[in-house]
Structure 1
Amino acid sequence: MVALNVLVYSGPGIGPNAHAYLLRTLRQFLSHRYAVIPPWESKAALLVMPGGRDQPYVASLSGEINARIRHWISRGGRYLGFCAGGYYGSGRCEFEPKHCDGSDGGARAGAAYPGYHYKTEDGARAAEVTVDQEKFRVGQNYWRNDPKNVRIYYNGGGYFLTDDFLGKPASKDVEVLVRYANDVTDPYDRSKRVANAPALIACRVGRGQAILTGLHPDYTMPYNRQLIAHLRAHDAFRRRLLGAIFAHLNMHADAHSMRLPARTPTFLAPARAQGVAQISQAMYGISSAAQKTTAGDAVLRDAKEDIHVISASPGVSQRRVPQQYQATVLKPKQLRPITDDGETEPRARRLDPGITPRFDMQLAITYMQQHRAHTCGSWLMYSDTTSSTQTFLESNTRLQSLLPNGTVNVATVQLAGRGRGRNAWVAPLGCLQFTMLLRHPGSKKAPVVLLQYLVSLAIVEAVKQRPGYEDLPMRLKWPNDLYGRQEPLVDSDDSDADSPEFVKLGGVLVGSSFKNGEFSLLFGMRRQCGQPAAHDYNDSHGTSLPAIPMELALALITAKFEEFYRKFLVMGFAPFLDMYYKNWLHSNQIVTLVDQGHERVRITGVDPDTGLLLTRSIHNPNAHYSLQPDGNSFDMLQGMISRKT
């Protein structure tokens, strides 16, 4: 089994900006291969501790959790600590000059520079550091003639009291990779200069490794405007230093992340067979709502951003879309709609694959037409890189109101993908990420709350209907997550190593609004098409099931959901209960209800009329509890359900 999760601490002590900056950085460098997620869970590729305050980290993780972290690292895990995360990773720290206990590594003294104050940037600076480029595990040409002295954002970090820095023989388990260039002073006596103070070190811990830093190479541009000019000039060097850090930890960083990814235009085209009148009506509605600018552009003004409406009909020269805008590009006459009698219109030139190199829109439309559906997936929107497919449609309400029912918005990379609550999701390349617009009538027979169950079920069944995939171990976690079973590590030291475990493959996020008796629903969906479950299934069964391409998976899922949805409108969710229970993880599962005094209960099912999770008390069989799917969070690792905040 290959570890694919990058875990980021999100508990007490995190700095107000540190968590957001760190998540964004990790996504840019690692999301092509790893899923970056906030909570702690086992069998991860990397554990990252952000900046903030070290003492709350220690208090929150002391005892058993701290021991588990150290044990996990010593067995081959990887740890990366920025600033306060570096303090926490040290065995002893001396701060101004108070003492606190750390968890691992050597000693740490701080702050390296005077003037630091919690919750402010009074002591922040663009610290000059010297990078020992030869010690990093990268090729000789990696640094591209970068200077060895670069400026990195600093705010309150310390320096490391390594053996060689203290005049002792250097430890074979600790290596200094970056040193402060100048101006560092002794926190006990600020009049004393400290030369060559270690700023970033790499440590071997058993079979594992850790990198601790007093700097913030994870910060792009801080809020302190006085530092921006210094840091912007060195931003390319900072990004390559980050790439070298991940390489030193044997992480597979995205080479393209040496530059900050920009949002790309969004293309819109009819996907499933529709009449010319329907296509023309949709085109006319969007074009009519657009305004002509002084430059002659057709722009749809919305609350969030300007959306450029561009016609690319045959005979009309195609203009380049301004890079700084999201753009909706209509290309209906360049497609080949398939009619019921099999006749096709003449094929015009396809969308230039250089514009959408990581998703073949023409292939996706071909699959959509082969897997017939009327509404779901009727139109296809695609962006190579966007903030969030869900946020894009939610924010641009005017555009949303003009889009045909069933439009799907797909993206290869989401810079700020969304999950339930404040969770942020980033998927490795190869994951299908899209949002579908569905206008759903208010109906007691087909309550809107159950649609998230129906979508999740459709995703699983769409895969399992493929020949050879019937027994693929994909499951549903209440209320809206997709899980796959992974076989245990062969060399695992865990006591339960012989037992397979389920890992998250994706999920569903639903946003809704209600007007004139109708719901406008946005179903955000994320699913790994690379399928770790399929890889493990192949290994254990001697099969060779290929990964399902994103373009095909989109057609399968939307077609299966429409099949289910038509039945749901007439008969409700009751006909799907047996299929749902067959695919879910919770039959007779015993869990703890945190908000009910840690009551132990057994899960008995789902109410087909309300969507509530039904449970019965273990100690009092006459006591029943019903839980709302949108108000509670299910921690699979701890077996606990608590109120979602």
Structure 2
Amino acid sequence: MKNQVVVYVDKGVDGVSLKHLVHSLKQQLNPEMKIKRLDARSVIEENWEKDTQLFIMPGGRDVFYQSALVGKGTDKIRSYVEKEGNYLGICAGAYFACERIEFEKGTSLEILGERSLCFFPGIAKGPAYGVGKYTYNSSKGACNALINWQKHSLHVYFNGGCFFSSKSSEIKILSCYLDLPQSPPAIVEINHGQGKVILSGVHFEYLPDLLDQKDPYLSMIYHHLEKADSFRREMLCDLLKRVGCRLKTPNLKKKDDK
């Protein structure tokens, strides 16, 4: 039985996003499931696939993921998923897994281009809430994204993420942006070979209690995130179950395991 979750940690990964991700995983994963951090060289050279249930690409800057992993790295990740592996891409990790990205089009931060992992047969377009608001190394562009999950609507953290555009009929939409025109997809699922890929434009891994409330931009969105946190944790557990991870059985209505 596979007992490992790999989290990519190398140039481009945002430290704050990584902190939230690891805390959230530790809250929900069965203790028998270990979290293993790998840099680009280790992804390429080590034999991590056999014991890995899930490969996670966190938020950050996808141009660095692409430059470090294009070729041997992306080939290895794709082969792992094809052979009953699972990939979870969050924000930059979702951009990275699409056929093409369009980020901050028409601005000084514009990034347009093809990507080599190509799990999603289409375009990741962002930021979903409009160009000209996002800034690197700042939470100025952060906001509450209103999305749906099963029977609930909830606010989750958003900063620079994408929505997904494709003509393929093989994509399963798990969640949409409810407060954007035409409610574009926020979280999608794709079958790839014998494996599964989940991509998210929103940060469902962010814990309100870890936000810096001294930051004026974060203090403005904290209340809605805190109010929705039990649903967010429920959604996180559902997503981890979809990719075969074994979980604790916590009381999702309580703020424990901090």
TM-score by length of 2: 0.85
User: How many correspondences in the alignment?
Assistant: 231
For residue 30 of structure 1, what is the aligned residue in structure 2? Answer: 29
Q: 1:121 aligns with which of 139, 145, 159?
A: 139
The question of whether the paired residues in 2 share the 8 Å contact of 1:58 and 1:101 is answered with no
Matched, 1:64 2:61: no
1:260 pairs with one of 234, 244, 255: 255
Shift, 1:49, TM fit: 0.7
Q: Which residue of 2 aligns with 1:130?
A: 148
Q: What is the alpha-carbon root mean square deviation over aligned residues? A: 1.5
1:92 CA displacement: 1.0
Match of 2:169 in 1: 171
Deviation at 1:16, TM superposition (A): 2.8
Q: Which position in structure 1 is the counterpart of 2:112?
A: 99
Gap change, CA 1:257 and 1:210, over 3 Å in 2: farther
Q: In structure 1, what is the Cα distance between the partners aligned to 2:222 and 2:182?
A: 26
Alpha-carbon distance change, 38 to 260 in structure 1, aligned in 2, over 3 angstroms:
farther
Residue identity opposite 1:116 in structure 2: Y
Give a deviation string over 1:344-384, Cα, whole Å, max 9, x none.
xxxxxxxxxxxxxxxxxxxxxxxxxxxxxxxxxxxxxxxxx
- Between the aligned partners of 1:36 and 1:51, the Cα distance in structure 2 is 17
Of the three residues 122, 126, 130, the one matched with 1:110 is 126
User: Residue 129 of structure 2 aligns to which amino acid in structure 1?
Assistant: Y
8 Å Cα contact 1:117/1:123 also seen in 2: yes
Q: 1:31 to 1:250 in 2, by over 3 A?
A: closer
Q: Deviations over 1:209-256 (max 9, x none)?
A: 010000001000233111111100000000001011112212222221
Q: Does the 8 Å contact 1:199/1:214 carry over to 2?
A: yes
Q: Which residue of 195, 199, 210 maps to 1:208?
A: 195
196-205 vs 110-119, which moves further: 110-119
Counterpart contact for 2:11–2:65, Cα < 8 Å: yes
Partner of 2:226: 232
Partner residue, 1:217? 204
| Contact 1:8 1:37 (C-alpha < 8 Å) held by counterparts | yes
Contact 2:53 2:244 in 1 (8 A): no
Match of 1:79 among 87, 109, 113: 87
In structure 2, the CA distance between the partners of 1:11 and 1:49, relative to structure 1 (3 Å rule), is same
Give the whole-Å Cα distance in 1 for the aligned partners of 2:239 and 2:251. Answer: 13
Contact kept, 8 Å, 2:60 with 2:92, in 1: the verdict is yes
Equivalent residue, structure 1, for 2:5: 6
Distance in 2 between the 1:182 and 1:61 partners? 35
Query: 3-state SS of the aligned residue for 1:121?
Result: coil
SS at match of 1:255: coil
Question: Do 2:102 and 2:126's aligned partners in 1 also have CA atoms closer than 8 Å?
Answer: yes
Distance 2:165 2:237 in 1: 25
Partner Cα distance (1:257, 1:35) in 2? 21
CA contact (8 A) 2:175 2:188 kept: yes
Residue by residue, what CA displacement relative to the aligned partner does 1:151-206 show, whole Å, maximum 9, x if unpaired? 0110100000032xxxxxx523x1000000123xxxxxxxxxx3120000011001
Change (3 A) 1:206 1:257: farther
Deviations 1:569-622 (A, max 9, x none): xxxxxxxxxxxxxxxxxxxxxxxxxxxxxxxxxxxxxxxxxxxxxxxxxxxxxx
Q: What does residue 244 of structure 1 align with?
A: 238
Checking the alignment, whether the CA contact within 8 Å between 1:5 and 1:36 is kept in structure 2 is yes
Provide the rounded CA distance (Å) in 1 between the counterparts of 2:23 and 2:65. 21
- Write the deviation string for residues 392-449 of structure 1: whole angstroms up to 9, x where unpaired: xxxxxxxxxxxxxxxxxxxxxxx6xxxxxxxxxxxxxxxxxxxxxxxxxxxxxxxxxx
Q: Distance in 2 between matches of 1:257 and 1:29?
A: 10
Structure 1 SS opposite 2:203: coil
Do the aligned residues in 2 keep the contact of 1:57 with 1:88 (CA within 8 Å)? yes
Larger radius of gyration: 1
Identity of aligned residues (%): 29
Deviation at 1:257, TM superposition (A): 6.3
Task: Please give the alpha-carbon distance, in whole angstroms, between the structure 1 residues aligned to 2:135 and 2:152.
Answer: 29
The structure-2 alpha-carbon separation of the partners of 1:257 and 1:66, relative to structure 1 and needing over 3 Å to count, comes to: farther
Match of 1:54 among 47, 55, 62: 62
Secondary structure in 2 aligned to 1:38? Answer: strand
Instruction: Provide the C-alpha distance between the structure 1 equivalents of 2:17 and 2:102, rounded to a whole number of angstroms.
Output: 22
**AA of the residue aligned to 1:128:** L
Query: For 2:124 and 2:205, how far apart are their aligned partners in 1?
Result: 20
Are positions 1:89 and 2:97 aligned together? Answer: yes
CA contact (8 A) 2:58 2:89 kept: yes
Q: Looking at both structures, which has the greater relative contact order when contacts are Cα pairs under 8 Å and sequence separation is at least 6? A: 2
SS of 1:45's equivalent in the other structure is strand
Q: Which runs of 5 or more residues in structure 2 are unaligned?
A: 106-110, 213-217
Deviation at 1:101, TM superposition (A): 2.9
Provide the rounded CA distance (Å) in 1 between the counterparts of 2:67 and 2:49: 21
Structure 1 residues 68 and 257, CA, compared in 2 at 3 Å: closer, same or farther? farther
* TM-score with structure 1 setting the length: 0.35
* In structure 2, C-alpha distance between the alignment counterparts of 1:96 and 1:19, rounded to whole Å: 23
User: 1:83·1:215 contact (CA, 8 Å) conserved in 2?
Assistant: yes
- Contact kept? 1:110, 1:156, Cα under 8 Å: yes
The residue type equivalent to 1:110 in the other structure is G
- In structure 1, the residue matched to 2:108 is none
- Residue 20 (structure 2) aligns with: 21
